[in-house]
């Protein structure tokens, strides 16, 4: 059939007219104001900002992060359903420079894992916008300044590892109070000072691993820490803590395997409640000011 029947010609003309009008409308509106941000474009912009801030001597980003198909870029994982970044992961890849605040725009991110990578500068508070993040690992860099208070907004966080950096300042009172799923926290080997906030662990029932060793923390350790049903590993060694250890028959650490308090200024009696921790394998209390006989120092 060469000619369309009249009944279908009118809708086609109408359709063309509508398309022409909408094209004029959209071109005029895009010239007057920026188009609404497409999430995928925002992710691309965040990744390019991340790349632009880092010196990359092995050329990992320079050679691989080219074009715009970021879902094929090394270190980037995207959702199966849409081009949105869900994980950004580099380990032992030298990336010299600081983290850009734009990373806080990766709104689908659930894993940020940049370890042993020579990062410097401070942790951007904008990371507190990553509402879906579960694993935040930045250990083994040279990050400095204090831990941003805004990280306390990461309510889905399960693992936080900021160990082996040069972080200073105090731990924010609300760092973990809205993290009910937190299983692992390591802030070890930094230069964190001040007290551990007394309520830090009052709402972390899933905690299995706490490592705050090798800082200059002081004051008592929070009582809530001695009453955690899933806790397996607890280290406060090599700090400046004082006070007594509140573990007796009223507290409960049924899963505890490792307990390090060495090199502090704890006083009072050795916590007898430890005798009821049936899985305890490694513990070290040496170099403290306990009244009882202090066991020989053997950190195992
Ligand atoms: C967003 O932009 C990307 C790349 O520019 C495009 O592939 C995708 O279809 C856009 N998505 C939406 C929902 O507009
Ligand atoms: C980047 O690396 C990924 C994974 O190794 C690879 O599939 C991709 O082809 C690389 N892209 C470029 C432009 O080299
Ligand atoms: C983070 O990176 C380390 C080292 O590459 C890897 O072993 C680990 O599985 C990664 N974790 C996640 C949650 O991707
Ligand atoms: C992303 O984040 C940066 C810095 O936090 C901001 O300047 C930028 O406007 C944000 N939005 C988009 C769409 O890139
Ligand atoms: C970069 O980081 C690696 C791993 O942490 C470390 O061995 C290396 O000394 C660092 N390089 C510099 C120049 O800081
Ligand atoms: C956490 O998020 C809330 C709401 O978005 C905001 O008002 C608050 O300032 C954030 N807290 C921090 C410490 O950034
Ligand atoms: C945290 O980082 C330290 C230092 O690299 C590492 O030894 C430890 O296994 C990490 N723990 C977790 C649970 O990520
Ligand atoms: C902590 O501070 C001391 C004194 O400023 C410094 O010598 C040391 O290297 C710092 N340690 C870390 C892990 O940043
Ligand atoms: C320990 O936790 C249990 C259950 O959450 C609670 O009933 C008990 O009072 C706590 N004991 C102490 C000494 O805080
Ligand atoms: C440790 O605490 C004592 C007081 O108990 C204080 O004099 C000393 O300066 C502290 N050391 C550090 C490294 O903070
Ligand atoms: C246990 O708690 C009860 C009630 O709070 C208290 O009377 C008792 O002295 C506590 N026992 C120990 C050993 O602290």
Q: Is 228 left (phi over 0), alpha (psi -120 to 50) or beta?
A: beta
Residue 78 phi, psi dihedral angles, 5° rounding: -115, 165
Length of the chain: 300
Residue 180 phi, psi dihedral angles, 5° rounding: -65, -20
DSSP strand pairing (233-235 vs 258-260): parallel
Averaged over 5-32, what is the pLDDT? 38
Q: What pTM did the predictor assign?
A: 0.85
* 3-state DSSP assignment of residue 239: coil
Q: Compute the mean pLDDT over every residue in the chain, rounded to the nearest whole number.
A: 86
CA distance 126 to 115: 19
Task: Give the residue from 56, 140, 66, 148 showing the smallest Cα distance to 104.
Answer: 148
- Is any atom of ligand 9 closer than 6 Å to the C-beta of 40? no
Averaged over 98-105, what is the pLDDT? 98
pLDDT above 90: residue 226 = no
∠ CA 265-271-277, nearest 5°, is 130
pLDDT above 70: residue 23 = no
Instruction: Kindly list the distances between the CA atom of residue 45 and the CA atoms of 49, 71, 101, 120, 280, in Å, as whole numbers in the listed order.
Output: 6, 13, 12, 21, 49
Dump pLDDT digits (tens) for 44-80: 999 999 999 999 999 999 999 999 999 999 999 999 9
The residue contributing the CA closest to ligand 5 atom 12 is 118
* 266 strand-pairing partners: 243
Asked whether 75 and 63 are in contact (CB, 8 A), the reply is no
Dump pLDDT digits (tens) for 103-141: 999 999 999 999 999 999 999 999 999 999 999 999 999
Nearest ligand 10 atom to alpha carbon 240: 1
Dump pLDDT digits (tens) for 229-264: 999 999 999 999 999 887 766 778 999 999 998 889
Q: What is the pLDDT of residue 14?
A: 39
The residue contributing the CA closest to ligand 10 atom 7 is 240
- Is any atom of ligand 3 closer than 6 Å to the C-beta of 135? yes
pLDDT band at 37 (very low <50, low <70, confident <90, very high): low
Q: What is the pLDDT of residue 19?
A: 38
DSSP strand pairing (111-115 vs 144-145): unpaired
- Is any atom of ligand 8 closer than 6 Å to the C-beta of 264? no
Task: Give the residue from 203, 208, 237 showing the smallest Cα distance to 221.
Answer: 237
User: Which residue ranges have their beta carbon within 6 Å of ligand 6?
Assistant: 128, 149-150, 152-153
Nearest ligand 9 atom to alpha carbon 223: 14
Contacts of 166 (CB under 8 A, 6+ apart): 142, 143, 144, 190, 191
- Is any atom of ligand 10 closer than 6 Å to the C-beta of 240? yes
Q: Kindly provide the residue ranges of all beta strands, DSSP E only, lying in 56-122, ordered along the sequence.
A: 76-78, 85-91, 96-97, 111-115
The residue contributing the CA closest to ligand 2 atom 12 is 64
Give the Å distance between the CA of 166 and the centre of ligand 8. Answer: 7
| 195, two tokens | 């007290």
Instruction: Kindly list the distances between the CA atom of residue 300 and the CA atoms of 40, 202, 281, 283, in Å, as whole numbers in the listed order.
Output: 48, 29, 9, 7
User: Ligand 9 pocket: which of 223, 227, 247 to mutate (most atoms <8 Å of CB)?
Assistant: 227
Q: What is the pLDDT of residue 36?
A: 54
Residue 174 phi, psi dihedral angles, 5° rounding: -105, 15
| 144, two tokens | 């400095």
């Amino acid at each position: 059939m060469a000619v369309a029947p009249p009944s279908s010609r009118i809708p086609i003309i109408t359709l063309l007219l509508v398309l022409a009008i909408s094209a004029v409308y959209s071109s005029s509106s895009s010239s007057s104001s920026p188009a609404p941000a497409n999430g995928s474009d925002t992710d691309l912009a965040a990744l390019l900002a991340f790349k632009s801030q880092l010196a990359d001597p092995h050329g990992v980003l320079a050679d691989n992060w080219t074009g715009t198909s970021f879902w094929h870029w090394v270190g980037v994982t995207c959702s199966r359903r849409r081009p949105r970044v869900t994980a950004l992961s580099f380990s032992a890849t030298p990336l010299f420079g600081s983290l850009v605040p734009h990373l806080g725009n990766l709104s689908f991110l659930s894993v940020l894992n940049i370890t042993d990578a020579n990062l410097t500068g401070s942790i951007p508070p904008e990371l507190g916008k990553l509402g879906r993040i579960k694993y935040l690992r930045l250990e083994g860099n040279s990050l400095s300044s204090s831990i941003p208070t805004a990280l306390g907004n990461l309510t889905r966080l399960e693992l936080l590892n900021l160990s082996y950096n040069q972080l200073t300042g105090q731990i924010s009172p609300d760092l973990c109070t809205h993290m009910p799923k937190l299983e692992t926290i390591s802030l070890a080997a930094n230069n964190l000072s001040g007290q551990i906030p007394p309520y830090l662990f009052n709402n972390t029932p899933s905690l299995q691993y706490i490592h705050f060793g090798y800082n200059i923390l002081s004051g008592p350790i929070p009582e809530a820490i001695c009453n955690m049903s899933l806790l397996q590993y607890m280290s406060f060694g090599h700090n400046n803590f004082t006070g007594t250890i509140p573990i007796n028959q009223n507290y409960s650490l049924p899963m505890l395997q490792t307990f390090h308090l060495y090199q502090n200024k704890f006083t009072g009696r050795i916590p007898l409640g430890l005798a009821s921790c049936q899985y305890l394998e490694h513990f070290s209390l040496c170099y403290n000011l306990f009244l009882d006989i202090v066991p020989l120092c053997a950190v195992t």
